[in-house]
A and B are shown apart, each in its own frame.
Chain A
Amino acid sequence: MKSDIVLKAENLTKQVTSPEGPLTILRDVSFDIYAGESVAIVGASGAGKSTLLALLAGLDTPSAGRVMLAGIDVTNLDEDGRAKLRAERVGFVFQSFHLVQSLTALENVMLPLELAGRRDARPAALDTCERVGLASRTGHYPRQLSGGEQQRVAIARAFVTQPAVLFADEPTGNLDTVTGEKIVSLLFELNANSRTTLVLVTHDRELARRCSRILELSGGELLPEQAVA
């Protein structure tokens, strides 16, 4: 299944200026991710996982190196260009759900479709809500939902555009074990059914092992890859 590369990191380096002088938080990271894979990015706190994710998703720009997403050089695009690419190819799930508080669950799910200018936003969103088991909750506002339900809304929102890549940063970090397990199952299920590539940042070794590959960061550097059992 190692057919087409959907995400490619080439010598990614990120430097920031801190009060103590320049600081390299990511050093010369390169890897390829293929369509349909599920990849876990693991590492100690402060290892640079979120930084890497931000670069891969075009939320931030690298100091050196480049990112190719679905054949497009992300690093060559301007901010609005990257936003457009995200709208078309990328979905997100975050640790702290990041829902728009002033919109209902359904409206939150519709949002990326509407931003992409799709006319069938409502039926598509309703369909996705159903797939994540939220059919009865579509009219609720985020603060009326439990943490697990909110995360389901976030997942529905991420999948509704049928993105090429779905990024998740600690998707279960704010949830209890049982709920977290359900959310993870949902993620993998959707991943399997829709040929979406899943890139997952996590502390959780258990969770990481369910992925097809593990990329481990340490002090901003990528450790040699081990095969997953």
Chain B
Amino acid sequence: MIRRAVPLALRTLVREWHSGELSIVLLALTVAVAALTGVGFLVSRIGAAVDLQANEVLAADLRLESTRPIGPRYVDEARQRGLQVVESTGLLSVVFQGDESQLSNLRAVTAGYPLRGQVMLADTAFGQSSPAADIPAPGEAWPESKLLAAIGAEVGSELAIGAARFKVTRVLITRPDQGATFADLAPSILINAADLPATQLIQPGSRVSYAMLFAGAPTAVQSLRDWLDVAKTPSERLLDISESTPQIKTAIDRAGRFLSLASLVAVLLCAIAVAMAARRYVQRHLDSVALMKTLGASRAFTLTVSLLQLLLIGLVAALIGSLLGFAAQAGLVVVLKDLLKGELPPADWAPVWIGFLTAIAILAGFALPPLLQLSRTPALRVLRRDVGPPPLLVMLAFGPAVAAVLFLIYWVVRDVPIFLGFTLGLTAFLALLALVGWLLVRFTNSMRGGVGVAWRYGIANLGRRRIESVVQLTAFGCGIMVLLLLAVVRNDLLSDWRKSLPSDIPNYFFINIPPEERTAFVEFLRERGAQTSRALPMIRARLTGINGRGVEDTPFADARGQGFANREQNITWTRELGPDNQIVAGRWFADDDVGKALVSISTEFQEALGLVLGDRLEFDVAGETFEATVSSVRKVKWDSFQPNFFLVFPPGPLDGTAGTWMTSAYFHPTSSRSLAELVRRFPSVSVFDLDDLLVQVRSVIDKAALAVQSVFLFTLLAGLVVLLAAVQASRDERRYESAMLRTLGANRRTVQQGILAEFATLGVLSGLLAAVGASIAGFFIARHVLNVPYSPDPWVWLIGVVGGGLLVATAGWLATRSVVNQPPLVTLRGG
């Protein structure tokens, strides 16, 4: 049967094309597939890039460390697998210039270092940095700013390290593997490995750390890792990053799911267009199915023919959509280039499956039920026009559609609470739009007594096709709303958010301030005109137990929770609650809480570990066990760039610990001399430059907004597809009416005005609806995402109503023009 159905399906497909429904199905599916795959590609590439970036912390994909020299046979093994290898040897040594000296972390590296990430260099201490192209030449040294400041050296100075002398040619700003930033106290100095013997620093008994760095294709790295696991000596330590950055992975995952959800809205709109087109397809094919049956076709055969056509369209749409998605993603990557720093790894092909699955799911959910019904058309219809297929059971008509939508949503989020939340939220939102739309249609319809004939005709059309009108209103409403969110609300929200970031937010962090130098340090900053923020004490602590149960025995569903439980982190104690902290549960420390074993935790900490007020947390602080009860939860605005901590204790219990102090300050870009002076006066203080980070954060916000925008563009496209589908669906009816009106004596202009009036009304109502939606969405984004007060924008209403009216009127008019232009005779003769 398939053999007979295929040629017929193909042959009629070619002709069917002109009647429009199939091209609408193709268009709708293509847009849906492009939306989902575009996001899929982008997320998979960024995910891969994050893996690579994470590896920068190692300056390699794989790193072997040892306190003894590492044998050359590993190098051979790595080279055989096509991997790059470099070596890095480190030891603590005193660096001299004249009488001045400073204990430093000497790193001698071979050519090619670093394999991942970049060494950043400047020409002056604390100067503007740029990436290094090479490693230091023999005889050259690249010391850190702080080291130069400590010994009063500069570029061009000559330094003595052990028995050798080096010339300072550049200043080291950062290197990728400088380690856990807060812990490395001694400043680094980078030299060429060839110079190491001349220093004569490596003697029996000296403490040297040897590292061998590998990088290359993931499979080759994996193979070397497997080999090393067996071959390495017990004193050699193998490091790779993949297990140690679960939070980043989770964040990317979340962002990806959010974008996919956003693109699902476009997918849903497209599904509506498919359903509309399928309905018209059924209407138009009742006769031909009855005829085929009369001529001897079985029900299965007629079903097979239309299914084959649909399947073919689905496949083509999935292909084109995936290509478009890929192109959209590639375009986005170009735009996001400087944000992503360097080349992104290529996309994997998994999103193509998403594309095919989407197309199939939409077809199965939205087109299959009407087709099944179509195949039930009795042959008798050839004699009696009023016989049609038996009505579909409600379950059958909507069941598959609902199932397909739920399947897609779940498949994108894969998380029951988010799934439920999104589904309910979306249903509620769409229901609200539909309700408002319905009221608007009713209200408009009741006004038609007071307008001219053309308008009356147009508005009557809206009222007569009421369900279609509401569906269209909702669809255009969604599309225009998205546009408003992008054009107006986004700008408002972003500038509000930017305004909420002061221009003098701290650009330097200072840590390791000894308690006894704290007052002098803050005073020093103030004298130099640097605006300081609060200074807080700080010490490292590790969470060891929750409510008397060891964290090792506690399973955490949340990867971030696992991270909190496993790693040491910085804690502080203070009586003051910063303005960038907001208590969301419990209460902040009162005066008589001072000295009590209490702790205030941040919302992130609370969520990741699933804590509640009153939980007892056990910490290891500098080897001593310390217990505290959760007394409040704080929402922290991390982007204030003030010192902030997940865990804050009241003053008292930790006063006696060997903590140091930290603060942040804003230094004008020209005050690098003050900074050099500061480092000389307070040699133990570590300085962190945030300027780069800040610029990056700002551009991340902008670029992320762009990514979201492009996804929403698909939604607008989908809205237009719905418009096309709706016009298509009413085309025959319109053609007939227009012919009737003209036969009755209406001229072409009156009919045109009527149609224009209809679409303009539809557009204005959609614009109104969109403005309502955009205001609600804007309010939520302002309050709950950006945490800025919401200020309504009148432009949303104006642009929504005028723009919506123009957009829909133009699109609708263009789509129906041919209907009006056809001579009435042709229509009435049934041509």
| A interface residues with partner B (beta carbon < 8 Å) | 50, 53-54, 57, 59-60, 79-80, 82-88, 90, 92, 94, 98, 100-103, 107, 111-112, 114-117, 141, 143, 157, 169
Contacts and interface: CB of A to CB of B under 8 A. Distances in A.
Nearest to B7: A114
Given A59-B378, A79-B298, A169-B383, 18 more contacts: A59-B294, A79-B293, A79-B299, A83-B298, A83-B299, A83-B379, A86-B294, A87-B295, A87-B296, A90-B296, A98-B294, A102-B16, A102-B19, A111-B292, A112-B295, A115-B295, A115-B297, A117-B4
Contacts of B297: 83, 87, 115
A115 B301 contact: yes
A53 B293 contact: no
Given A103-B15, A141-B15, A143-B831, A54 B291 contact: no
Contact of A92 (B12, B288, B295): B295
Contacts of A102: 12, 15-16, 19, 288
Interface of B: 4, 7-8, 11-12, 15-16, 19, 287-288, 291-301, 378-380, 382-384, 831
Contact of A53 (B295, B300, B301, B383): B383
A98 B300 CA distance: 21
Contacts of B19: 102
A59 B292 CA distance: 12
Closest 3 CB pairs of A and B: A87-B296, A102-B15, A80-B298
A83 B380 contact: no
Contacts of B831: 143
Contacts of B11: 103, 107
Main secondary structure of the interface of A (DSSP, over half): helix
Contacts of B15: 101-103, 141
Given A103-B11, A115-B297, A98 B291 contact: yes
Contact of B296 (A100, A115, A169): A115
Between A90, A107, A115, the greatest number of chain B beta carbons within 10 A of the residue's beta carbon is seen for A115
A139 to B, nearest CB: 13
A53 B300 CA distance: 25
Given A102-B16, A115-B301, A86 B296 contact: yes
A83 B383 contact: no
A87 B293 CA distance: 9
Contacts of B296: 83-88, 90, 112, 115-116
Given A103-B11, A103-B15, A117-B4, A111 B380 contact: no
Contacts, number: 85
A157 B294 CA distance: 12
A151 B301 CA distance: 26
B380 A80 contact: no
A85 B379 CA distance: 13
A156 B379 CA distance: 20
Given A80-B300, A83-B297, A115 B4 contact: yes
Contact of B287 (A60, A80, A98): A98
Contacts of B295: 86-87, 92, 111-112, 115, 157
19 contacts: A53-B383, A54-B380, A57-B294, A59-B383, A79-B298, A79-B379, A80-B298, A83-B296, A83-B298, A87-B296, A87-B297, A98-B287, A100-B12, A100-B292, A101-B15, A102-B19, A111-B292, A112-B296, A116-B296
Given A103-B11, A107-B11, A83 B384 contact: no
A86 to B, nearest CB: 5
B260 to A, nearest CB: 38
Between A53, A111, A141, the greatest number of chain B beta carbons within 10 A of the residue's beta carbon is seen for A111
Contacts of A111: 8, 292, 295
A103 B9 CA distance: 11
Contacts of B293: 79, 83
Contacts of A117: 4
Nearest to A111: B295
B291 A100 contact: yes
Contacts of A107: 11
Contacts of B383: 50, 53-54, 59, 94, 169
A59 B298 contact: no
B4 A114 contact: yes
A149 to B, nearest CB: 14
A57 B293 CA distance: 12
A87 B12 CA distance: 20
Nearest to B291: A98
Nearest to A55: B380
Given A79-B299, A114-B4, A59 B291 contact: no
A115 B305 CA distance: 11
A94 B12 contact: no
B288 A100 contact: yes
Contact of B380 (A60, A85, A101, A141): A60
A83 B301 CA distance: 11
A24 B695 CA distance: 86
Given A60-B380, A98-B291, A143-B831, A80 B299 contact: yes
Contacts of B379: 59, 79, 82-83, 86
Contacts of A141: 15
A135 to B, nearest CB: 21
Nearest to B301: A115
B382 A115 contact: no
